[in-house]
Amino acid sequence: MLTYIVRRILISIPTIVFVSIVVFGLQLLLPGDPALALAGEERDPAVIAELRRVYHLDEPIWKQYLIWVGNVLQGDLGESIRLKLPVGDLVTAKLPVTMQLASMAILIAICIGIPMGIISAVKKETPLDYAANVVALSGISVPSFWLGIMMILLFSVHLGWLPASGFVKPTESLSQNLQTMIMPAFVLSSVTTAIFMRHTRSAMLAVLRSDYVRTARAKGLREPRVIFRHALRNAIIPVVTLGAIQLGELMSGAVLTEQIFTIPGFGKLIVDAVFNRDYAVVQGVVLCTATGFIFLNLCADLIYFLVNPRMRG
Amino acid sequence: MVAASVADDSTLIKRPNAFRRLLRRKGAVVGLCVVAIFVTIAILAPWLAPYDPIATNFLQVRKPPSSQYWMGTDEIGRDLMSRMIYGARASLQAGVISVAIAVCLGVPLGLLSGYCKGWVDSLMMRVVDALLACPFLILAIAMAAFLGPSLTNAMIAIGLTAMPIFIRLVRGQVLAVTVEDYVEAARALGNPHLRIAIRHVLPNVVAVVLVHSTLAIAQATLAEAALSFLGLGQQPPAPSWGSMLNVARQFISQAPWMAWWPGLAIATVVLAFNLLGDGLRDALDPKES
């Protein structure tokens, strides 16, 4: 088991190295001279020369990469041009907000998607199954930013139940925090709910056809016991690992949700940085998200290894 | 040569069956019809649009749907229906072109990776892992940010971001195909590698690429709408469903109809491509035949 874990962690290292190359390589996409792009409206040659020196733009590209990686390994992701703050500090400040949003979204997806998948599989080819499939297909197809706007229209503008935007820290007021976060979390969870539903349904359908479930039924066990004790315990394994991967996807989806509901999280940070040409922040956010994503993938593999007895051999 | 003719014959026999199987699936047929309708609307936009999509009319600002303006007007009096019709062009164009970029780059690279194996394969797979580790939308936003906001750059960003999945998909398929007897036979006959790869391996990858391309168009259409919604795609005054939603957000309480149509259109097109992709996957699956 230890060998597997160590091997799996070692495999992640070259991926992280290549991610760092991809993130660093993003600045090569900048049309023209990067120093001019960083200078913005400023056209003073002295300022541009200083920028070139500070950001090592006069060095060969491989050396620039090594300097950048060296700084990243020391926790220095650069400085935000607009906010004049270290990117690392900005990421640390915004990450908890997005983590709360993503965690709430995944909780909603589990509570809705998995039961829907079970019902859909157990009641296969009945109106309930068709309805669940329609909901799942809609979840995948409806753009989250449109769903968000429609929910604001209904719950904030027409019914006045929930605030349309804003954020209150949970340390200030937990109830207000939940009021501001519930609608964004629901919007963010729509795709994940659909994915959970579809995976649970197909996993349950496969398991319900297996011999041991037939044996359990033949023994005279009651249907709920067959479904929850025998079928679901095996069907849920791939869904659990999927959950860890989906958490990473939710961090990406949060970009749009945070923009619609004006939540000051990770997603809003990258969008604001994009419009202010704050490239260090863009690179920092992409690097942190990708590293987090690799870590979550690693967790997913380890969870799969731990919960699947056949993997432990 | 024998191997090639056998492969060609099997392709000829399979094609009508696969198409018939596709037509037997109601969902796929609905998807195909909806896609065909939207493509027709996009092509015939100049003849179908009742008004100029960028012409403003300050006497008709934020008018609800009526017999004169079927979908209403926007914040500067532009006809929403005309903008929706022209917006279909941008959205479908973005979906198709970005996937074409992903296919044109991803298929040869996947073929190379799977066929060469060894260090080429290992190196390419690590790069693919790295690209797949960056969440799709965040990487697309970052690329679009560095390239600059425009529809062309958004398409390039989405295409490059969608490419790694094609590399991985094709590589897997190639690895499975290259151990088949007919490929061994083609090798034994002394065919050059390039000919084996293109004539014997590539045709076996087409079905998988076709299915994934259809599903990828749905994802690319959504991504373009998302980038335009964030202001990184189609630039005003040119219409795009995503950018129309971005503007509609600011007038949600005064003119909710501005948000209805673009969202419905995006959802319908994405759903249609998903249904078509699912249907194609089932129709081209040998187990289904």
Among candidates A149, A249, A256 on the partner chain, residue whose Cβ is nearest the Cβ of B226: A256
User: Is B259 close to A270, i.e. CB distance below 8 A?
Assistant: no
CB A251, CB B139: distance < 8 Å: no
Distance from CA of B148 to the nearest CA of A (A): 8
Answer yes or no: are the C-beta atoms of B53 and B79 closer than 8 Å. yes
Compute how many other C-beta atoms are within 10 angstroms of the C-beta atom of residue B264: 14
Residue A172 contacts by C-beta under 8 Å, 6 or more apart in sequence?
none
Across the interface, of B133, B218, B270, the residue whose CB is closest to A293 is: B133
Q: What pLDDT is stored for residue B86 in this prediction? A: 95
Handedness of CA B132, B135, B141, B145 (dihedral sign): negative
| Coil, strand or helix at A93 | helix
CB neighbourhood size of A121 (10 A): 24
- Residue in chain B lying closest to A31 (CA): B147
A154 secondary structure, DSSP code = I
- CA A252/CA B135 separation, integer angstroms: 6
Nearest CA in chain A to B224: A143
What DSSP line would sit under B139-162, residue for residue? HHHHHHHHH-SSHHHHHHHHHHHH
The structure tokens 């990258």 sit at A270
For residue B180, the Cα-to-chain-centroid distance in whole angstroms is 31
Cβ–Cβ below 8 Å for A143 and B232: no
- For the record, the structure tokens of B262 come out as 């673009």
pLDDT value for A274: 83
* Residues paired with residue A79 on neighbouring β-strands, in sequence order: A86
Which of A16, A18, A183 has the most B C-beta neighbours within 10 Å, making it the best mutation to test the interface with B? A18
Q: What is the mean pLDDT of chain A?
A: 86
Give the residue on B whose Cα is nearest the Cα of A279. B146
Q: What is the pLDDT of residue A116?
A: 93
How far A219 CA sits from the closest chain B CA (Å)? 33
Residue B140 CA from chain centroid, whole number: 15
- DSSP character for A124? T
B137/chain A closest Cα distance in angstroms: 6
On chain B, the residues whose CB falls within 8 A of the CB of A27 are: 146
Report the SS3 class of residue B73: strand
Coil, strand or helix: which one is B131? helix
d(CA B234, CA B155): 10
Q: What separation in angstroms does the CA of A33 have from each of A23, A304, B232?
A: 18, 47, 21
What is the average pLDDT value for chain B, to the nearest integer? 87
Residues A203 and B211: their CA atoms lie apart, in Å, by: 22
| pLDDT for the residue A190 | 93
B262 in A contact zone (CB under 8 Å): yes
∠ CA A163-A167-A172, rounded to 5°: 110
Confidence band of A312 (pLDDT split at 50, 70, 90): low
Q: What is the least distance, in Å, from the CA of A206 to any CA of chain B?
A: 16
Nearest to A141 among B229, B248, B274 (CB): B274
| Residue B243 clears pLDDT 70, i.e. is over it | yes
Region A180-190: mean pLDDT is 94
Instruction: Give the model confidence (pLDDT) of A279-304 as tens digits.
Output: 888 888 889 888 888 888 888 788 77
Name the residue among B131, B222, B252 with its Cβ closest to that of A149. B252
Tell me how crowded residue A156 is: count the other CB atoms within 10 A of its CB. 18
Q: Mutate one of A137, A149, A153, A157 to test the B interface: name it (highest B CB count within 10 A).
A: A149
pLDDT at B270 over 60: yes
Q: Do A256 and B262 touch (CB under 8 A)?
A: no
The answer to whether residue A36 scores a pLDDT higher than 80 is no
CB A276 within 8 A of CB A70: no
Q: Choose among B135, B225, B252: nearest Cβ to A143.
A: B225
Asked if residue A34 lies in contact with residue A283, where contact means CB atoms within 8 angstroms, the answer is: no
> Could you tell me which of A253, A233, A272, A149 has the C-alpha nearest to residue A193?
A253
Q: Which of B244, B226, B15 is nearest to A271 (CA)?
A: B226
Q: How far out from the chain centre does Cα B239 lie?
A: 19
Is B134 in Cβ contact with A294 (below 8 Å)? no
Contact assignment for A30 to B249 by CB distance below 8 Å: no
Task: Answer whether residue B175 shows pLDDT above 50.
Answer: yes
Mean pLDDT of A85-91: 91
Do B141 and A270 make contact, defined as CB atoms within 8 angstroms? yes
| pLDDT single digits (tens) A227-243 | 888 888 888 877 877 77
pLDDT of residue B16: 55
Calpha distance A180→A174 (Å, rounded): 10
The SS3 call for residue A79 is strand
Does residue B14 register a pLDDT over 80? no
Q: Which two tokens stand for residue B172?
A: 């897997």
Q: Has residue A161 got a pLDDT over 90?
A: yes
The predicted structure's pLDDT at residue B7: 46
Pull the structure tokens for residue A292. Answer: 């987090």
Question: Exposed, middle or buried: residue A159 (CB in 10 Å: 0-12, 13-18, 19+)?
Answer: exposed
Check residues A252 and A188 and name the one with the higher pLDDT: A188
Residue B230 in contact with partner chain A when CB distance is under 8 A:
yes
Higher-pLDDT residue of A272 and B11 is A272
Contact A301, A7 (CB under 8 A): no
Record: contact B245-A152, CB cut-off 8 A: no
What's the rounded mean pLDDT across residues A71-91?
Answer: 88
* Signed CA dihedral, B281, B261, A266, B150: sign only: positive
User: What pLDDT was estimated at residue A39?
Assistant: 73
Q: How far is A10 from chain B (nearest CA, A)?
A: 13
Of B142, B147, B267, the CB nearest to A143: B267
* Separation between Cα atoms, residue B94 and residue B151, nearest integer Å: 8
User: Could you tell me which residues are beta bridge partners of residue B79?
Assistant: B73
The tokens describing B179, both together, are 């151990």
Residue B222 at interface with chain A, using a CB cutoff of 8 Å: yes
Q: d(Cα B169, Cα B127) in Å, to the nearest integer?
A: 14
Q: What pLDDT does B144 receive?
A: 83
Distance from chain centroid for Cα A239: 16
What is the nearest CA distance from A226 to chain B, expressed in angstroms? 30
pLDDT at B10 over 70: no
Residue B72 CA to residue B81 CA, distance in Å, equals: 7
Do A149 and B139 lie within an 8 Å CB cutoff? no
For B69-126, the pLDDT digits (tens) are: 999 999 999 999 999 999 999 999 999 999 999 999 999 999 999 988 888 888 888 8
- pTM value? 0.86
Instruction: Residue A10: count other Cβ atoms within 10 Å of its Cβ.
Output: 9
Beta-ladder partners of A86: A79
Instruction: Rounding to the nearest 10 degrees, give the CA dihedral for residues A65, A70, A75, A79.
Output: -50
DSSP reduced 3-state for A125? coil
B:100-159 residues touching chain A, CB 8 A cutoff: 126-127, 129-131, 133-139, 141-148
DSSP 8-state code for residue A278: -
**Res. A262: pLDDT tops 80:** yes
Q: How many other CB atoms are there within 10 angstroms of residue A313's CB atom? A: 5
**What is the percent of chain B where pLDDT is above 70?**
93
What are the two backbone dihedrals, phi and then psi, of residue A220, each rounded to the nearest 5 degrees? 95, 15
pLDDT-based confidence at A273, cuts 50/70/90? Answer: confident
Mean pLDDT to the nearest integer, B13-27: 73
Q: Give me the interface pTM, i.e. the ipTM.
A: 0.84
- Euclidean distance between CA atoms A166 and B38, whole angstroms: 37
The H-assigned helical ranges of chain A are 2-25, 34-39, 45-54, 61-73, 87-122, 127-141, 144-151, 174-208, 211-218, 223-225, 232-260, 266-275, 279-307, 309-312
Q: Encode A172-209: b = buried (16+ Cβ within 10 Å), e = exposed.
A: eeeeebeebbbbbbbbbbbbbbbbbbbbbbebbbebbe
Q: Which residue has the higher pLDDT, A237 or A92?
A: A92
Task: Specify the range with the lowest mean pLDDT, choosing from A87-96, A165-174, A248-257, B83-92.
Answer: A248-257
